[in-house]
């Protein structure tokens, strides 16, 4: 029996083992995941016409889909029902568009960086994050992200909301590009077990503030932007603390 015949036989066996409802649920979850790329396309269109509120609203919807599809996939047992479809690959592809490619385009289109370097820096963001996405240990077994986890959607939102000069923005983006390759373990808010309840509570409050900031674009309340940065400070400080604590425990 050829390889293609074995695959077809395997698919027929799966169809017999799982009913129509199971198959529909599994494909429905994959369709939900795939809808994230449509959000990215709409964000790109809005960004091209400089409708920043709409662009970030679509990116936020893509992030919300990403936040729930994993749980739904486990409930629908998609790996068992559809073993020949790689949902993880689909999810990673859309994550790259959501967290890297579209934000890099928005950063360039918004003129946040010096004009002569803007496109080159957007390209550097895309290339370095592509390498980060392909690292086998980008997500560690103890539920951290290794290296700056390509939160470029949040980075670009803050650069826009803070209204800093192009040179300062260039320095921030350059630093984050370098941090992609520095082996600091960053919090995975929904999965890192250390201080999880505190982190989830703070992340939820911060998420509400981010939605409010997006709603107020292009001129959000400065106090709200600065207040939301307290969570960013917590996130980086806690990540550094847990990274060095883990190293001390291993030494």
Q: Are 176 and 129 in contact (CB under 8 A)?
A: no
Q: How many CB atoms lie within 10 A of CB 3?
A: 7
- For residues 191 and 174, what is the distance between their CA atoms, to the nearest angstrom? 28
Rounded to whole angstroms, the Cα distance separating 40 from 179 reads 25
DSSP state of 181: T
Nearest to 122 by CA among 59, 53, 162, 170: 170
pLDDT tens, residue by residue, 111-141: 999 999 999 999 999 999 999 999 988 888 8
pLDDT tier, 2 (very low <50, low <70, confident <90, very high otherwise) = low
**Contact by Cβ (8 Å): 213, 224:** yes
- 85, pLDDT greater than 60: yes
∠ CA 238-242-245 to the nearest 5 degrees? 140
d(CA 119, CA 124): 9
Residue 14 has pLDDT above 70, yes or no: no
SS3 category, 145: strand
pLDDT of residue 5: 62
- What H or E segment, with its residue span, contains residue 187? strand 185-187
Between CA 214 and CA 158 the distance in angstroms is: 10
Q: What domains can you pick out in the chain, each with its CATH number?
A: 3-250 (1.20.120)
Cα angle value 144/34/206 (rounded, 5°): 45
Residue 225 has what pLDDT?
A: 98
Please tell me the distance from the alpha carbon of residue 65 to that of residue 59, in angstroms, as a whole number: 10
Q: What is the mean pLDDT of residues 79-97?
A: 93
pTM: 0.89
Q: How many residues does the chain have?
A: 251
């Amino acid at each position: 029996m050829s390889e293609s015949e074995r695959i077809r036989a395997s698919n027929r066996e799966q169809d017999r083992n799982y009913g129509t409802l199971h198959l529909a649920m599994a494909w429905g979850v994959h369709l939900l995941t795939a809808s994230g790329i449509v959000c990215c396309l709409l964000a790109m269109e809005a960004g091209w016409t400089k409708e920043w509120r709409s662009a970030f609203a679509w990116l936020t919807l893509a992030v919300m889909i990403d936040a729930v599809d994993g749980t739904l996939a486990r409930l629908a047992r998609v790996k068992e029902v559809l073993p020949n479809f790689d949902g993880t690959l689909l999810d990673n592809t859309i994550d790259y568009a959501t967290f890297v490619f579209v934000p890099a385009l928005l950063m360039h289109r918004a003129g946040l960086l010096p004009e002569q370097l803007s496109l080159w820096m957007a390209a550097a963001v895309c290339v370095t994050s592509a390498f980060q996405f392909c690292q086998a240990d980008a997500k560690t077994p103890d539920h951290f992200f290794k290296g700056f986890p390509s939160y470029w959607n949040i980075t670009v939102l803050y650069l826009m909301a803070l209204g800093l000069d192009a040179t300062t923005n260039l320095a921030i983006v350059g630093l984050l590009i370098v941090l992609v390759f520095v082996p600091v373990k960053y919090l995975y808010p929904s999965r890192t077990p250390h201080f999880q309840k505190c982190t989830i509570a703070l992340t939820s409050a911060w998420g509400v503030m981010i939605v409010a900031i997006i709603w107020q674009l292009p001129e959000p309340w400065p106090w709200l932007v600065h207040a939301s940065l307290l969570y960013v400070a917590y996130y980086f400080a806690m990540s550094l603390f847990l990274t060095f604590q883990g190293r001390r425990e291993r030494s």
